[in-house]
Amino acid sequence: MKRSVREAGILWVRLMKKLVRVPMLLFFALFQPLIFLLLFSSVFSNLDQLPGFAYDSYLQFLVPSIVALTALNSAFQSGIGMVTDMESGMLDKFLISPIRRSSILLGKVFADGSRAFAQAMVIILVSLVMGARFETGVAGVLVMAGLAALFGIAWAGLSNVIALRTGNGELTMMLGILITFPVLFLSTSFMPAALLPDWLDTVATFNPITYIVEALRALVNTGWDWGAVGQALAVTGGLAVVTFAAATAAFRKVIS
Amino acid sequence: MVTVLIDVQSLVKVFPGVRAVDDVTFGVAEGEIFGFLGPNGAGKTTTIRIIVTLLRATSGTVIVDGMDVTKRPEEVRKRIGYAAQFIGIDDDLTARENLVMQARLHGVDRQAAERRTAELLELFQLGDAADRRAGTFSGGMRRRLDLGQALTHDPRVVFLDEPTTGLDPQTRHALWDYLRDLNRRGVTIFLTTQYLEEADALAGRLAIIDHGAIVVTGTPAELKAGLGGDAIIVTLADGVLPAEVERAAGVLSRFSDSGTARTHERTVRVFTADGSARLAEVVRALDAERVAVTRLELSEPTLDDVFLRHTGGRMRVEEVKPPSRMLIGRRRR
């Protein structure tokens, strides 16, 4: 355990240095969510007048969705990094050193989580400037970013599966984009459940993003809703376990 | 007492449809520079990747410093350094950071890693560039840094896969000096190369590998001596008919120790123990048979001749292609 943490730590430090030095790595996943945040909060601002819309403003409703979108974008960046390391020979360098194979993925998980956390904080700060209020205060904001990080880790596992199976950076990015949109719109991200068509409401129930968005929305708008947070933790944690089991299997296949 | 550091027995690697390594056996003693010489696709990289634990053998055994690569890969990894054909450097980190990270990954503690890094930066003359990002480095600097990365944990043996491919001649020669220096410090070196002159300049002993099999092993001098003396090489006129080449070969074979002459396109060569003494005779014989000669050479045998003798083909050096860097996806070579 101590050994894994030490080894993963070395690799985490490397990825953090890259993140700080190559601003694109930090901001790449933020552009689209920021644009959505600015556009949607204006374009849909009158939605708050609809009967059944239970939030103070569309912005209050939207911020959690944008945080989740950011985490999703961030996650799909992870596989691209994996392909880069495979192509540049860095992965070979890690494989040739006497570290545990699992430490390589573990270091990446920590780094993906850290990046998603930082990116979620940027979105939250921008929305604060735009006038959003956070019911649960600073503690709530930290919990939100933590949930976003976990959510990012869960989807990063999927991104790494694609990366390891295809070995192709472009494909990894394309599939990421392809997955993001249905996942996002087939949920309560942009429209409250009460206003969704019935079939969509049903689909949304099976969409993991719905749970994270509902938990974040509660933290922003109503307060400490432990039920929602617990559900989000369970669903996202479960997803993370599944995607990382798949990523580990794909990783083993590549290195054997 | 010679210690065998690398012991490879009956190594076989089969990829779907290809026998990349076909029953290869050799040993490398401590303190040697051992060269693996062969054209692209001969099985050099596959062999090296099996020895350094990055690839699993189909059959056969490989023991490095007493450790079986299949059974105790981690012990092997602790003991060896490896610089792949395609350099693995993080361009966003500085030279110093890359080196420290490699040392740390090999279990060296922070202080020792920094000390060792400073030494390596000095050794490879990267001191001035130590704190610059590796992405800004020239090809030669990258190669040196990569070599440094293979040495951060003081390994007893380093594996270098085509360490000078893609470098200009000047940088290549400088790198040879580093490698000789390293060897003098007691590091055993196993290197693959497709350059004959590189094998000749560096390797104490070498194996020539072609189509996955070792065709001959020995010191460069032994291999050349094995050809029997000097080479007489006759080049015929451009556009000469194959029959004419054969006729010339017939004349020259009279002077060959083995009784045979080798032809390649429009050149004919024979090996003879006392080439210089018989050169005049050769000229008279060719003249008498009215063979139109454009060039006549007498040379000590080169490794090229050795290669030619043992593989029946000229060393196929394909000059540096833009590297296909997918080492993981298709690691066949």
CATH class of B4-223: alpha beta
Q: Which of chain A's residues have a Cβ under 8 Å away from the Cβ of B91? A: 88
Best residue in B49, B91, B104 to probe A by mutation, most A CBs within 10 Å?
B104
Q: Which of chain A's residues have a Cβ under 8 Å away from the Cβ of B54? A: 92, 95-96
Q: Both tokens of residue A136?
A: 């649960």
Highest mean pLDDT pick, A43-57, B152-166, B268-282: B152-166
Number of Cβ within a 10 Å radius of residue A247: 26
In sequence order, the 6+-apart residues with CB closer than 8 A to the CB of A237 are: A150, A154
Based on the number of CB atoms within 10 Å of its own CB, is A169 exposed (0-12), middle (13-18) or buried (19 or more)?
A: middle
The architecture that CATH gives domain B228-300 is: 2-Layer Sandwich (3.30)
Using alpha carbons only, how large is chain A's radius of gyration in Å? 19
Nearest to B77 by CA among B87, B64, B89, B90: B64
d(CA A176, CA A163): 10
SS3 B224: helix
B326 and A93 within 8 Å at the Cβ level: the answer is no
Q: Which of chain B's residues have a Cβ under 8 Å away from the Cβ of A17? A: 92-93, 97
- At residue B314, the pLDDT reads 57
**Band of residue B313 on the pLDDT scale cut at 50, 70, 90:** low
- At residue A74, the pLDDT reads 94
Residue that wins the pLDDT comparison between B302 and B206: B206
Number of Cβ within a 10 Å radius of residue A233: 17
- Per-residue pLDDT of B5-59, as tens digits, reads 999 999 999 999 889 999 999 999 999 999 998 888 889 999 999 999 999 999 9
> Nearest chain A Cα to B70, which residue?
A256
Residue that wins the pLDDT comparison between B304 and B96: B96
Q: A233-237, B96-100, B211-215: lowest mean pLDDT where?
A: B211-215
Q: Tokens 């105790």 — which residue? A: B72
Distance from CA of A137 to the nearest CA of B (A): 37
d(CA B11, CA A20): 46
- At residue B330, the pLDDT reads 38
Given a cut of 90, whether residue A112 has pLDDT beyond it is yes
- At residue B316, the pLDDT reads 52
- At residue B329, the pLDDT reads 40
- Per DSSP (E only), the strands in B194-288 are 205-210, 213-218, 230-236, 262-264, 267-272
Given a cut of 50, whether residue B332 has pLDDT beyond it is no
- Per-residue pLDDT of A64-86, as tens digits, reads 999 999 999 999 999 999 999 99
- At residue B318, the pLDDT reads 47
Identify which of A92, A99, A256 has the shortest CB distance to residue B88.
A92
Given a cut of 80, whether residue B327 has pLDDT beyond it is no
Strands B59-64 and B205-210 come out as unpaired
Distance from CA of B330 to the nearest CA of A (A): 10
d(CA B35, CA A5): 39
User: Is residue B137 a contact partner of residue B93, using CB atoms and an 8 Å limit?
Assistant: no
Given a cut of 80, whether residue B323 has pLDDT beyond it is no
User: Is residue A68 a contact partner of residue B24, using CB atoms and an 8 Å limit?
Assistant: no
* Residue ranges of chain B that CATH labels 3.30.70.260: 228-300
**Band of residue B68 on the pLDDT scale cut at 50, 70, 90:** very high
Q: Which of chain B's residues have a Cβ under 8 Å away from the Cβ of A98? A: 74-75, 77-78, 105-107
Based on the number of CB atoms within 10 Å of its own CB, is B319 exposed (0-12), middle (13-18) or buried (19 or more)?
A: exposed
User: Is residue B104 a contact partner of residue B85, using CB atoms and an 8 Å limit?
Assistant: no
- By a Cβ cutoff of 8 Å, what residues of chain B touch chain A? 52-54, 56, 74-75, 77-78, 80, 82, 84, 86-93, 97, 101-102, 104-107, 133, 149, 325-329
**Band of residue B1 on the pLDDT scale cut at 50, 70, 90:** low
Count the helices and strands in chain A (H runs, E runs): 11, 0
Q: A112-121, B137-146, B209-218, B263-272: lowest mean pLDDT where?
A: B263-272
Based on the number of CB atoms within 10 Å of its own CB, is B130 exposed (0-12), middle (13-18) or buried (19 or more)?
A: middle
Q: Both tokens of residue B53?
A: 């634990």
A17 and B97 within 8 Å at the Cβ level: the answer is yes
User: Is residue B36 a contact partner of residue B322, using CB atoms and an 8 Å limit?
Assistant: no
- Per-residue pLDDT of B104-140, as tens digits, reads 999 999 999 999 999 999 988 899 999 999 999 998 8
What mean pLDDT do residues A195-199 have? Answer: 87
**Band of residue B331 on the pLDDT scale cut at 50, 70, 90:** very low
In sequence order, the 6+-apart residues with CB closer than 8 A to the CB of A37 are: A62, A63, A66, A123, A126, A127, A130
From first CA to last CA, the distance across chain B in angstroms is: 35
Identify which of B78, B327, B329 has the shortest CB distance to residue A89.
B327
Q: Say which DSSP state B1 is in.
A: -
- At residue B237, the pLDDT reads 85
- At residue A48, the pLDDT reads 84
User: Is residue B326 a contact partner of residue A87, using CB atoms and an 8 Å limit?
Assistant: yes
Q: What amino acid occupies position B95?
A: A
> Nearest chain A Cα to B101, which residue?
A10
Best residue in A87, A96, A171 to probe B by mutation, most B CBs within 10 Å?
A96
Q: What is the mean pLDDT of chain B?
A: 86
Residue that wins the pLDDT comparison between B166 and B246: B246
d(CA B70, CA B51): 9
Q: Say which DSSP state B16 is in.
A: T
